[in-house]
């Protein structure tokens, strides 16, 4: 107020002390918008990481399947490869790289399933008592970046003469037709 008891007039309006309410409201709004932007950035980064992890897990899955296919078609096939002494690939212990990849690798264990041994031919196939099924198991492992890994188990059998005693002697089945039976993915819900 002036000495005359009136407010000074400035451009037709009374001049009063500004209290800064507009500044405070603008600052709070700017802070809220910044927090929303940072939260969106964090969410987008996490989604990108999750999709990358899913991609690497899928690549590990494919590597494990590749390992099973390699073992399924490998030669020689013999009852000498047991659970305790399986055929291991690669023999060096260092996993083999997937074709066309620098980071995806695979390995497998192949063995004669002595618990199943030899059984009648599944699915009622003809063969009489002269032919039986000899059961084998493959455990394929696949690895990719970020620690992604997959382990798959594939069972299969070959049909051969019933005169082979896998406990007493080693039986070889080179070139025998192989038929897949069960498949299992470790850790799958």
Q: Encode pLDDT of 146-163 as tens digits.
A: 999 999 999 999 988 888
pLDDT number for residue 188: 67
Instruction: Indicate whether 94 pLDDT > 90.
Output: no
Q: Which of 58, 69, 43, 65 is nearest to 145 (CA)?
A: 58
Q: pLDDT digits over 121-130, tens only?
A: 877 556 566 7
Per-residue pLDDT tens digits for 48-63: 999 989 999 999 999 9
Does 175 score more than 70 pLDDT?
yes
pTM for the predicted model, two decimal places: 0.76
Q: Is residue 14 within 8 Å of residue 7, measured between CB atoms?
A: yes
Q: Output the pLDDT for position 144.
A: 94
- Dihedral-angle region of residue 88 (phi above 0 means left; psi in -120 to 50 means alpha; beta otherwise): beta
Sign of the Cα torsion 42, 48, 52, 54 reads: positive
Q: What is the mean pLDDT of residues 163-175?
A: 82
Confidence of residue 18 (pLDDT cuts 50, 70, 90): low
């Amino acid at each position: 107020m002036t000495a005359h008891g009136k407010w000074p007039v400035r451009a037709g309006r009374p001049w009063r002390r500004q209290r800064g309410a507009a500044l405070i409201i603008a600052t709070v709004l700017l802070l809220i918008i910044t927090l929303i932007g940072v939260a969106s950035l964090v969410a987008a980064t996490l989604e990108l990481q999750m999709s990358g992890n899913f991609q690497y897990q899928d690549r590990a899955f494919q590597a494990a399947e590749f390992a099973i296919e390699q073992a399924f078609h490998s030669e020689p096939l013999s009852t000498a490869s047991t659970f305790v002494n399986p055929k291991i690939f690669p023999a060096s212990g260092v996993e083999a790289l997937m074709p066309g990849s620098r980071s995806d690798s695979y390995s497998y264990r192949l063995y004669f399933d002595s618990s199943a041994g030899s059984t009648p031919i599944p699915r009622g196939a003809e063969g009489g008592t002269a032919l039986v099924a000899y059961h084998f198991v493959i455990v394929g492992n696949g690895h990719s970046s970020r620690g992604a890994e997959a382990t798959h188990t594939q069972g299969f059998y070959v049909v051969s003469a019933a005169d082979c005693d896998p406990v007493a002697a080693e039986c070889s089945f080179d070139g025998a037709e192989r038929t897949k039976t069960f498949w299992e993915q470790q850790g799958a819900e």
